[in-house]
Amino acid sequence: MQEWEREEPLIVERGSGSYLIDTEGKKYLDGTSSIWVNLHGHRHPALDRALKKQLDKIAHSTLLGLSNPPAIELAHALVRIAPKGLARVFYSDNGSTAVEVALKIAVQYWQQRHPEAGPKNTFLHLKLAYHGDTIGAVSVGNIELFHARFKPLLFPTVEAEPPYCYRCPLNLIYPSCHMACIDPIEQILRTRHRELAGFIIEPLIQAAAGMITQPAGYLKRIRKLCSKYNVLLIADEVATGFGRTGKMFACRHEGVTPDLMAISKGLTGGYMPLAATLTTDEIYKAFLGKYEDFKSFFHGHSYTGNPLGCAVALANLGVFRQEKTLVRLLPKIRAMAEWLKPFTEMSHVGDIRRRGLMVGIELVRDKKTREPYPPGARVGYRVTAAARTRGLLIRPIGNVLVLMPPLSTSTEELKRMVECLKDSIETLAID
């Protein structure tokens, strides 16, 4: 914050398509989708219209004991596009709350539906995980920089090593390792399944960890293990959902249906805060009973099912259909992969990780030994500052440069983003 106070912050006043425009009229390509929320570009006519149309009716009414047409229609629409078997929707207002909802539902489900299965009041998660900044979400996270000082506030969890192939904790090499990192996970599930309510995971890619990608088949094997040992699989699709990986949801790449799925970010196309936690009929039935049974899920938010958010989310899904967003995305993904290949020859690029249009480029001091830069070098910051002078706004995660543009970004704009990033790495004086 001290450094931020000394700098002149860029003040964004307007947006148009893939561009952000500051108060001085300068245009910048939005290389982070305004932190992973924008899908179809800024000021999309269909989303603008939906918001204005709903505002002429009502901005908000509670979903506690009531409902509203956009919330009902959106729930049906989400069930139609979700992995098969996810049939119920619980609304909240951001990714952290969607995760909190999933955690609480999981614990209460076991208490009310299968108390014989064990106490089941804790969770398994991967190291380097990030699932949000509220206390429950932080408890199942493991990014020391973000979370270490709050450990006294957190509930105990069980951690497992992630499939970080570039820096494999087992010192093995993929694919000859045969995903040996799953073996310790199975051991945890085998020995501690009676206390585990669920295993929470970001499918295919751990985003805030530095875009750590999972090998093909990893998620499917985790699904089978959770089923085998009677542990709920919770998919955090807050960052990966709504086309970011090339399919509507990352779980679809491996034909996986989680027991609970948290979504937010792209849900409204970058227009309004809204989140949802989807689950199965089996889990939903655990919360049915007589009034005096008190089986209800006693959890709610003031803006749950907000009509403005739900209306623009419906329009967002409509744009996917009308503009064939996912089909048009495929050639962009292929082109991005080709444009990134020359980065592998750059002396300070250690690893390039990508799923769809989610890209992480890890910078290293020594390419041969994979020695990382120390925090004081501020390499990620320096490269992104150079990119800003070239008209590209991105944000690093430590030494990892993250590029996640809106899905609507044109091929020409995507190429320009990659070129800006390459130039910024090449021309910056890196010691």
**Close Cβ partners of 224 (under 8 Å, ≥ 6 residues apart):** none
Sign of CA dihedral 126, 128, 133, 138: positive
Q: What is the pLDDT of residues 23-57, one digit of tens each?
A: 999 999 999 999 999 999 999 999 999 999 999 99
Cα(221)–Cα(329) distance, rounded to whole angstroms? 28
| Letter string b/e over residues 261-284, b meaning 16 or more CB atoms within 10 A of that residue's CB | bbbbbbbbbbbbbbbbbbbbeebb
Q: How many percent of the chain have pLDDT more than 90? A: 95
**429: confidence class by pLDDT, cuts 50, 70, 90:** low
Angle of the 307-322 helix axis to the 45-55 helix axis, nearest 10: 150
**6: confidence class by pLDDT, cuts 50, 70, 90:** confident
Structure tokens at 204: 């295919």
What residues form DSSP beta bridges with 88?
Answer: 279
Cis previous bond, 374, omega within 30: no
* 3-state SS assignment for residue 126: strand
> Could you check whether 2-30+324-427 and 49-322 share the same CATH topology?
no
Q: Locate the domains of the chain by residue range.
A: 2-30+324-427, 49-322
Output the pTM of the full model: 0.97
Give residue 103's Cα distance to chain centre.
16
Would you say residue 169 has pLDDT above 60? yes
User: Following DSSP, what letter does each residue of 382-405 receive, concatenated?
Assistant: HHHHHHHHTTEE-EEETTEEEE--
Cβ 246 vs Cβ 326: under 8 Å: yes
Give residue 349's Cα distance to chain centre.
24
Q: For the domain 49-322, what is the CATH code?
A: 3.40.640.10
Q: Which H helix or E strand runs over 352? A: strand 349-355
Q: Which amino acid is at 410?
A: S
Q: For the domain 2-30+324-427, what is the CATH code?
A: 3.90.1150.10
